Structure 1
Amino acid sequence: MRKTIILILLGFKLFAGFKIIDVQFEGNRAFRSKFLMEKIQSKVGNEYNEYVLRHDELKLLMLYRDNGYFDVEVKKYIKVNLRKKGVSLKFKIEEGMLYPIKKIEILGNFNIPRDSILSLLRVKRDGPYDALRISLSNYAIMDYYSRKGFAYANVRDTFVVLKDMGVIVKFLIDEGKRVYIKDVQVENRTKIRESVLKKYITLKKGEIYNPEKVTRIKRDLLSTHLFGRIGTKTEGELEQKDSVVVKFILYPSKLLDITFGGGFLSPEWLIAKGGIVKRGILGGEHRLKITGEYGFGINGGRKDNIFLTFTSRDILYSPFNLILKYKLMEEVKDYHSFLKVYEGQLGYTHSENRGGYISIKWKDENTVSDTASYQSYERVLSFHTEVDFRDNPFDPTKGIKILVNLAHGGGFLGGGNNFQSYLFRAGGAIGIGKLVFEMFGGTGKVFYTDLPTYSSLFYTDGRTTVRGLPAYSIGGIVDSLTQKRYYDEFKSFNFQVKYRIIPSLYFIVFYDGLFIQTNYLSYGLGINYITPVGPLRLEFGMCESEKNFVLSIGGIL
Structure 2
Amino acid sequence: MKKTKQNRAANLSLKKPMSRVLIAALLFSTAVPSLPEMAFAQSYRFNSVQVDGNARIETGTVLSYAGIARGETISAAELNDAYQRLVASGLFETVEIVPRGGTLVINVVEYPTVNRVTFEGNRRLDDEALASVVQSKPRLVFSPTRAESDAARIAEAYSQEGRISARVTPRIIRRSDNRVDLVYEVFEGRNTEINRIGFVGNRVYSDRRLRRVLETKQAGLLRQLIRRDTFQEDRLQFDQQVLRDFYLSRGYIDFRTTAVDAELARERDAYFVTFNVQEGQQFRFGDITVVSNYPAADAEAYEQVVRLRPGIVYSPNHVENAIARMENLAVREGLDFLRVEPRITRNERDLTLDVEFVLSRGPRVFVERIDVEGNTTTLDRVVRRQFRIVEGDPFNPRQIREAAERIRALNFFENTQVNAREGSSPDRVVVDVDVEEKATGSLSFGGTYSTNSGFGLAISFSETNFLGRGQSLFLSLAGADSNKNYSLAFVEPAFLGRDVAFSFDLGVTETESFNAPYDTEVGEFGLGLEFPLAERSRLGLTFSLESSEMKASTSGDAAGSIIQNEIGQGDVISSSIGYKYTFDSRENGFDPTRGFLFEFGQDYAGLGGDVQFIETKARAVAQARILNEEVTVRASLRGGMLNYTKGSSRTIDRVNLLGDYLRGFEPSGVGPRQRGTNSSGAAFDNALAGNMFVVGSVEAEFPLGLPEEYGITGGAFYDISNIWDVGASAGQPGVLYNNGSYRHVVGLSVFWDTPIGPLRFNFAKALKKEQFDQEQFFNVTIRSEF
- State how far apart, in whole Å, the 2-side matches of 1:194 and 1:405 are: 36
The residue identity in structure 1 corresponding to 2:688 is R
Unpaired stretches in structure 1, ≥5 consecutive residues:
1-33, 36-100, 128-132, 160-168, 296-300
Compared CA separation, residues 389 and 363, structure 1 to 2 (3 A): farther
More strand by share: 1
Q: Does 1:381 align with 2:579?
A: no
**Which of 466, 477, 495 is matched with 1:292 structurally?**
477
Alpha-carbon distance, 1:494 to partner: 1.0
Alpha-carbon distance, 1:348 to partner: 1.5
Alpha-carbon distance, 1:112 to partner: 8.8
**Which of 548, 551, 557 is matched with 2:778 structurally?**
551
Q: Does 1:181 align with 2:366?
A: yes
- State how far apart, in whole Å, the 2-side matches of 1:420 and 1:402 are: 20
- State how far apart, in whole Å, the 2-side matches of 1:318 and 1:177 are: 29
Q: Does 1:275 align with 2:460?
A: yes
Compared CA separation, residues 170 and 291, structure 1 to 2 (3 A): closer
Q: How does 1:453-472 map to 2 (within 5 A)?
A: 453-461=650-658, 465-472=661-668
The residue identity in structure 1 corresponding to 2:463 is K
Indicate if the aligned counterparts of 2:642 and 2:654 stay in contact, CA closer than 8 A. Answer: yes
Alpha-carbon distance, 1:368 to partner: 2.9
Compared CA separation, residues 146 and 510, structure 1 to 2 (3 A): closer
- State how far apart, in whole Å, the 1-side matches of 2:617 and 2:503 are: 21
- State how far apart, in whole Å, the 2-side matches of 1:416 and 1:228 are: 51
Cross-structure match for 2:524:
342
Indicate if the aligned counterparts of 2:378 and 2:469 stay in contact, CA closer than 8 A. Answer: yes
Cross-structure match for 1:254:
439
User: Could you list the per-position Cα deviations for residues 257-277 of structure 1 after superposition, in whole angstroms to 9, with x for gaps in the alignment?
Assistant: 223454443444234433111
Indicate if the aligned counterparts of 2:388 and 2:399 stay in contact, CA closer than 8 A. Answer: no
Cross-structure match for 1:213:
399
Q: How does 1:14-413 map to 2 (within 5 A)?
A: 178-188=363-373, 189-236=375-422, 241-295=426-480, 301-333=481-513, 337-350=519-532, 354-370=538-554, 375-385=570-580, 386-391=582-587, 397-410=593-606, 412-413=607-608
After superposition, the CA RMSD in angstroms is: 5.0
Alpha-carbon distance, 1:426 to partner: 1.0
Residue 215 of structure 1 aligns to a residue whose secondary structure is helix
**Which of 641, 656, 659 is matched with 1:445 structurally?**
641
Q: Does 1:428 align with 2:612?
A: no
User: Could you list the per-position Cα deviations for residues 276-304 of structure 1 after superposition, in whole angstroms to 9, with x for gaps in the alignment?
Assistant: 11243344233221112222xxxxx4322
Indicate if the aligned counterparts of 1:146 and 1:210 stay in contact, CA closer than 8 A. Answer: no
Cross-structure match for 2:45:
none
User: Could you list the per-position Cα deviations for residues 189-208 of structure 1 after superposition, in whole angstroms to 9, with x for gaps in the alignment?
Assistant: 23334444453334334433
**Which of 668, 680, 696 is matched with 1:493 structurally?**
696
User: Could you list the per-position Cα deviations for residues 106-138 of structure 1 after superposition, in whole angstroms to 9, with x for gaps in the alignment?
Assistant: 999999999899999x999xx9xxxxx9x9999
Residue 487 of structure 1 aligns to a residue whose secondary structure is coil
Alpha-carbon distance, 1:477 to partner: 5.4
Alpha-carbon distance, 1:431 to partner: 1.9
Alpha-carbon distance, 1:187 to partner: 2.6
Alpha-carbon distance, 1:338 to partner: 3.6
Question: Which deviates further from its counterpart, 382-391 or 358-367?
Answer: 382-391
Compared CA separation, residues 212 and 532, structure 1 to 2 (3 A): farther
- State how far apart, in whole Å, the 2-side matches of 1:419 and 1:117 are: 46
Cross-structure match for 1:416:
610
The residue identity in structure 1 corresponding to 2:421 is E
> What percent of counterpart residues are identical?
14
- State how far apart, in whole Å, the 2-side matches of 1:425 and 1:154 are: 38
The residue identity in structure 1 corresponding to 2:542 is I
Indicate if the aligned counterparts of 1:141 and 1:155 stay in contact, CA closer than 8 A. Answer: no
- State how far apart, in whole Å, the 2-side matches of 1:418 and 1:248 are: 52
Question: Which deviates further from its counterpart, 473-482 or 515-524?
Answer: 473-482
Indicate if the aligned counterparts of 1:336 and 1:368 stay in contact, CA closer than 8 A. Answer: yes
Alpha-carbon distance, 1:233 to partner: 2.4
Cross-structure match for 1:526:
749
Compared CA separation, residues 140 and 447, structure 1 to 2 (3 A): closer
Compared CA separation, residues 333 and 340, structure 1 to 2 (3 A): closer
User: Could you list the per-position Cα deviations for residues 446-489 of structure 1 after superposition, in whole angstroms to 9, with x for gaps in the alignment?
Assistant: 112523343331112165x2211110122325699994431111
Question: Which deviates further from its counterpart, 429-438 or 543-552?
Answer: 543-552
- State how far apart, in whole Å, the 2-side matches of 1:320 and 1:476 are: 41
Alpha-carbon distance, 1:388 to partner: 2.9
Unpaired stretches in structure 2, ≥5 consecutive residues:
1-202, 205-285, 329-335, 348-353, 557-563, 679-683, 725-739
The residue identity in structure 1 corresponding to 2:623 is A
Alpha-carbon distance, 1:506 to partner: 3.1
Compared CA separation, residues 141 and 226, structure 1 to 2 (3 A): closer
- State how far apart, in whole Å, the 1-side matches of 2:713 and 2:448 are: 20
Compared CA separation, residues 391 and 291, structure 1 to 2 (3 A): farther
- State how far apart, in whole Å, the 1-side matches of 2:531 and 2:744 are: 37
Alpha-carbon distance, 1:157 to partner: 8.5
User: Could you list the per-position Cα deviations for residues 169-205 of structure 1 after superposition, in whole angstroms to 9, with x for gaps in the alignment?
Assistant: 999x9x9971512511323423334444453334334
- State how far apart, in whole Å, the 2-side matches of 1:208 and 1:123 are: 31
**Which of 744, 764, 781 is matched with 1:541 structurally?**
764
Compared CA separation, residues 400 and 455, structure 1 to 2 (3 A): farther
- State how far apart, in whole Å, the 2-side matches of 1:244 and 1:192 are: 24
- State how far apart, in whole Å, the 1-side matches of 2:689 and 2:545 are: 21
- State how far apart, in whole Å, the 2-side matches of 1:110 and 1:279 are: 47
Cross-structure match for 2:718:
511
Indicate if the aligned counterparts of 2:712 and 2:750 stay in contact, CA closer than 8 A. Answer: yes
Indicate if the aligned counterparts of 1:228 and 1:253 stay in contact, CA closer than 8 A. Answer: yes
- State how far apart, in whole Å, the 2-side matches of 1:268 and 1:349 are: 36
Indicate if the aligned counterparts of 1:179 and 1:208 stay in contact, CA closer than 8 A. Answer: yes
Alpha-carbon distance, 1:511 to partner: 1.4
The residue identity in structure 2 corresponding to 1:475 is G
Indicate if the aligned counterparts of 1:181 and 1:204 stay in contact, CA closer than 8 A. Answer: no
Indicate if the aligned counterparts of 1:468 and 1:550 stay in contact, CA closer than 8 A. Answer: yes
Q: TM-score, normalised by structure 2?
A: 0.46
- State how far apart, in whole Å, the 1-side matches of 2:635 and 2:342 are: 47
Indicate if the aligned counterparts of 1:409 and 1:417 stay in contact, CA closer than 8 A. Answer: yes
- State how far apart, in whole Å, the 2-side matches of 1:366 and 1:123 are: 57
- State how far apart, in whole Å, the 2-side matches of 1:447 and 1:138 are: 47
Larger Rg, first or second structure (1 or 2): 2
Paired positions, count: 431
Alpha-carbon distance, 1:141 to partner: 12
- State how far apart, in whole Å, the 1-side matches of 2:760 and 2:406 are: 32
Alpha-carbon distance, 1:422 to partner: 0.9
Indicate if the aligned counterparts of 2:371 and 2:430 stay in contact, CA closer than 8 A. Answer: no
The residue identity in structure 1 corresponding to 2:600 is V
